[in-house]
């Protein structure tokens, strides 16, 4: 399977299903799920197979652009102040978790 085919599969699953379901329950969480998925797909496209640490850094850099808006969405939805450091730590852990799920499902290509 070509990398582009893999990325298309990931995009179809993640962009259409997860954010929709999550967004129905909590629109701010749906926006976060969409942002996480998009950043992982973009990092995968840029970094190719292997080199997970560099791809995670790319994903974090991409998310850093959206983070202020995501925080604002969460603050608006909850009516409470969001701890930016804790939010960033959670985003980092979420990337690890989502990549692990995508790897478990065989969606992301593995280094040979």
* pLDDT tens column, 91-100: 999 999 999 9
Is 14 a domain residue?
yes
Q: What pLDDT is attached to residue 18? A: 57
Query: Rounded to whole angstroms, what are the CA distances from 97 to 28, 40, 78?
Result: 19, 11, 24
Is 70 a domain residue?
yes
Q: What pLDDT is attached to residue 67? A: 92
Is 79 a domain residue?
yes
Spatial contact of 28 and 35, defined as CB atoms under 8 Å apart: no
Region of residue 71 (phi > 0: left; psi between -120 and 50: alpha; otherwise: beta): alpha
Q: What pLDDT is attached to residue 32? A: 85
Domain count, the chain: 1
Is 16 a domain residue?
yes
Q: What is the pLDDT of residues 18-34, one digit of tens each?
A: 555 555 556 777 788 88
Q: What pLDDT is attached to residue 17? A: 58
Is 88 a domain residue?
yes
Q: What pLDDT is attached to residue 89? A: 95
How many other C-beta atoms can be found within 10 angstroms of the C-beta atom of residue 4?
9
Is 33 a domain residue?
yes
Is 52 a domain residue?
yes
pTM over 0.85: no
Is 29 a domain residue?
yes
Q: Give the C-alpha separation, 56 to 88, whole Å.
A: 13
Spatial contact of 28 and 8, defined as CB atoms under 8 Å apart: no
Q: Residue 42 sits in which domain range?
A: 3-104
The DSSP letter of residue 110 is: -
Residue ranges for the chain with pLDDT beneath 70: 1-26, 111-112
Q: Report the Cα 87 to chain-centroid distance in Å.
A: 14
């Amino acid at each position: 399977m070509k990398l582009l085919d893999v990325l298309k599969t990931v995009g179809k699953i993640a962009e259409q299903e997860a954010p929709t379901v999550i967004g129905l329950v909590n629109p701010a969480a749906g926006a976060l799920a969409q942002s996480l998925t998009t950043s992982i797909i973009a990092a995968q496209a840029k970094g190719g197979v292997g080199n997970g640490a560099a791809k995670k850094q790319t994903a974090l850099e991409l998310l850093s652009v959206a983070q202020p808006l995501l925080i604002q969405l969460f603050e608006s939805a909850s009516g409470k102040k969001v701890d930016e450091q804790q939010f960033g730590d959670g985003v980092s852990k979420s990337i690890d978790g989502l990549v692990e799920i995508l790897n478990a499902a065989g969606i992301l290509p593995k280094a040979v």
